[in-house]
């Protein structure tokens, strides 16, 4: 199953993509605002943005800073977001939002700016990952423990972060 977003009201429409060929044009009518719009079967615009940024990072410094696997629990949709040095700001995708790690989701319990994972190097040059809440309306959970606004949690490979009804799995880069 695939989701498309209405360009007027951002409502998701779900359809079976296996019935259509890549490059084929489809017409949808939004169930919420009744707007008619077209899409061409292919790759998500956000997926393209994440892929381009990841390629740019690889060509500039060749470093892998780890990743976040996003699993939207309600629909089991999966996304992979590559981390970069500095603040990685996570939240729900909204047209015009300035966060640098937007999550494509229909989960209304994720704020448009929900949490931050800071990637930095310590004095020895080792990577470290610090999680904090933005602060958000519904809170950020690390290993099922809610973070207070002042909490800064150091992440380890495989840690589970929950924002809204969505699970984020932290993966550190391979060592060696």
pLDDT at position 43 is 53
For residue 61, name the pLDDT band (cuts at 50, 70, 90). very low
Q: 95 or 134: which carries more pLDDT confidence?
A: 134
pLDDT at 166 over 60: yes
pLDDT at 129 > cutoff 90:
yes
Q: Are 113 and 89 in contact (CB under 8 A)?
A: yes
Mark 32-70 as b/e (b = at least 16 C-beta within 10 Å): eeeeeeebeeeeeeeeeebeeebeebeeeeeebbbbbeb
Across the chain, what does the average pLDDT equal?
83
Task: Give the DSSP letter string of 23-85.
Answer: T-EEEEE-TTT--EEEEESS--HHHHHHHHHHHHHHHHH-----EEEEEETTTTEEEEEE--S
pLDDT reading at 57 higher than 60: no
What tokens appear for 130 in the block? 């610090």
Q: If we measure between CA atoms, which residue out of 110, 54, 120, 99 comes closest to residue 81? A: 54
Four-CA torsion 7, 103, 113, 111, nearest 10 degrees: 80
Average pLDDT over residues 139-148: 95
Please check whether residue 81 is in contact with residue 100, taking contact to mean a CB–CB distance below 8 angstroms. no
- Judged against a pLDDT cut of 50, whether residue 22 lies above it is answered with yes
Domains of the chain: 2-40 (no CATH), 45-171 (2.60.200.20)
From 8-22, 43-57, 118-132, the region with the lowest mean pLDDT: 43-57
CA end-to-end span of the chain: 38
pLDDT at 47 over 60: no
> What is the mean pLDDT of the segment spanning 137-160?
95
**pLDDT tier at 5 (50, 70, 90 boundaries)?**
confident
């Amino acid at each position: 199953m695939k989701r498309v977003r209405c360009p007027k009201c951002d409502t998701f429409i779900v359809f079976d993509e296996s019935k259509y060929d890549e490059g084929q044009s489809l017409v949808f009518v939004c169930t919420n605002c009744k707007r008619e719009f077209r899409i061409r079967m292919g790759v998500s615009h956000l997926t393209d943005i994440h892929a381009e940024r990841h390629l740019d990072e690889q060509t500039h410094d060749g470093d892998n800073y780890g990743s976040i696997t996003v699993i939207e629990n309600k629909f089991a949709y999966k996304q992979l977001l590559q981390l970069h040095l500095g603040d990685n700001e996570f939240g729900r995708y909204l047209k015009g939002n300035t966060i640098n790690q937007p999550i494509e989701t229909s989960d209304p319990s994720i704020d448009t700016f929900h949490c931050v994972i800071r990637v930095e190097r310590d004095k020895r040059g080792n990577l470290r990952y610090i999680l904090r809440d933005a602060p958000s309306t519904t809170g950020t959970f690390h290993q099922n423990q809610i973070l207070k606004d002042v909490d800064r949690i150091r992440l380890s490979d495989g840690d589970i972060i929950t924002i809204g009804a969505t699970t984020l799995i932290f993966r550190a880069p391979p060592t060696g």
